[in-house]
Structure 1
Amino acid sequence: MERLKSIQDLDALRQQIIERRRHIRKRIRVCNGTGCHSQGAERLVDAFNRVLEERGVARDFLVVPTGCNGFCAAGPIVVIEPEEIFYQRVKADQVEAIVERSVLADEVIEELLYVDPTTGEKIVHEYEIPFFAKQERMVFKDTGSNFVRDIGDYISRGGYSALAKVLSGMSPEEVIEEVKMAGLRGRGGGGFPAGVKWESCRRAHGDIKYVMCNADEGDPGAYMDRSLLEGNPHQVLEGMIIGAYAIGAREGYIYVRFEYPMAVKNALWAIEQAKQYGLLGDNILGTSFSLDMHVNRGAGAFICGESTALMASLEGKVGEPRGKHIHTVEKGLWNRPSNLNNVETWANVPLIINNGGAWYASIGTERSKGTKIFSLVGKINNTGLVEVAMGTPLKRIIYDIGGGIPGGRRFKAVQTGGPSGGCVPDRMIDLPVDFEKLKEAGSMMGSGGMIVMDEETCMVDVARYFLNFLVEESCGKCIPCRVGVKRMHELVVGMCEGRAQPGDIEKLEELCYTIRETALCGLGKSAPNPVLSTLKYFRDEYEAHVHEKRCPAKICKPLIRYVIDTDKCTGCGLCRRRCPENAIIGAKKECHCIDEEVCVRCGICIETCKFKAIYIE
Structure 2
Amino acid sequence: MTDLLPVLTDTWDAPRSWRLSTYEKHGGYDGLKAALKMPPGDVVQAVKDSGLRGRGGAGFPSGMKWGFLPPDDGKPRYLVVNADESEPGTCKDIPLMLASPQHLIEGVIITSYAIGSKHAFIYVRGEVLHVYRRLLEAVAEARRVGYLGTDILGSGFDLEITVHAGAGAYICGEETALLDSLEGLRGQPRLKPPFPAVAGLYARPTVVNNVETIASVPGIIAQGADWFKGMGTERSTGHGLFSLSGHVTTPGQYEAPLGITLRELLDLGGGMRGGRPLKFWTPGGSSTPLFTAEHLDTPLDYESVGAAGSMLGTRALQIFDDTVCVVRSVSRWTEFYAHESCGKCTPCREGTYWLKQILRRIEDGAAGSGDIDLLLDLCDNILGRSFCALGDGATAPITSSIQFFRDEYQAHLDGHGCPFDPAASALFPYTPRTRTPGTALVGAGAGGHR
- Return the offset for 1:136: 1.9
C-alpha offsets along residues 43-65 of structure 1, whole Å, 9 cap, x if unaligned? xxxxxxxxxxxxxxxxxxxxxxx
Counterpart position of 2:65: 197
Say which of 276, 282, 285 aligns to 2:150.
282
SS of equivalent residue, structure 2 residue 32: helix
Q: Distance in 2 between matches of 1:402 and 1:266?
A: 29
Counterpart position of 1:376: 244
Question: Which residue type is aligned with residue 172 of structure 2?
Answer: C
1:271–1:391 CA distance, 2 compared to 1 (3 A)? same
Q: Distance in 2 between matches of 1:345 and 1:144?
A: 22
Say which of 136, 139, 142 aligns to 1:268.
136
CA RMSD of aligned residues (A): 1.9
Q: How many residue pairs get matched?
A: 428
> How does 1:22-33 map onto structure 2 within 5 Å?
none
TM-score under structure 1 normalisation? 0.67
- Return the offset for 1:524: 2.0
- Return the offset for 1:522: 1.6
Counterpart position of 2:120: 252
Matched, 1:393 2:270: no
Higher relative contact order (CA 8 A, sep 6+): 2
Counterpart position of 2:445: none
1:562–1:548 CA distance, 2 compared to 1 (3 A)? closer
Counterpart position of 1:158: 27
C-alpha offsets along residues 371-430 of structure 1, whole Å, 9 cap, x if unaligned? 2212211111001111121111111112x1121112221111112322312211011111
Counterpart position of 2:209: 341
Counterpart position of 1:573: none
Say which of 506, 510, 513 aligns to 2:373.
506
Q: Distance in 2 between matches of 1:203 and 1:538?
A: 52
Question: Which residue type is aligned with residue 284 of structure 1?
Answer: I
Say which of 274, 285, 302 aligns to 1:407.
274
Say which of 2, 5, 8 aligns to 1:139.
8
- Return the offset for 1:562: 8.0
Counterpart position of 2:284: 417
Matched, 1:476 2:350: no
Counterpart position of 2:357: 490
> How does 1:515-526 map onto structure 2 within 5 Å?
515-526=382-393
Counterpart position of 1:172: 40
Matched, 1:292 2:160: yes
1:452–1:357 CA distance, 2 compared to 1 (3 A)? same
C-alpha offsets along residues 152-192 of structure 1, whole Å, 9 cap, x if unaligned? 22122211111110112x11111111101111011111111
237-246 or 533-542: which moved more?
533-542
Q: Distance in 1 between matches of 2:294 and 2:19?
A: 47
Do 1:206 and 1:336's aligned partners in 2 also have CA atoms closer than 8 Å?
A: no
* Structure 1 residue ranges (4+ consecutive) displaced by more than 6 angstroms after TM superposition: none
Q: Distance in 2 between matches of 1:240 and 1:266?
A: 16
Q: Distance in 1 between matches of 2:132 and 2:35?
A: 27
Q: Distance in 2 between matches of 1:560 and 1:149?
A: 50
Do 1:204 and 1:337's aligned partners in 2 also have CA atoms closer than 8 Å?
A: no
Q: Distance in 2 between matches of 1:202 and 1:228?
A: 32
Say which of 297, 304, 310 aligns to 2:172.
304
Do 1:189 and 1:447's aligned partners in 2 also have CA atoms closer than 8 Å?
A: yes
Counterpart position of 1:71: none
Instruction: Give unmatched runs, 5+ long, in structure 2.
Output: 429-450
Do 1:202 and 1:246's aligned partners in 2 also have CA atoms closer than 8 Å?
A: no
Counterpart position of 1:538: 405
Counterpart position of 1:354: 222
Question: Which residue type is aligned with residue 349 of structure 2?
Answer: R
| Percent identity between the two aligned chains | 39
Counterpart position of 2:320: 453
Q: Distance in 2 between matches of 1:310 and 1:181?
A: 29
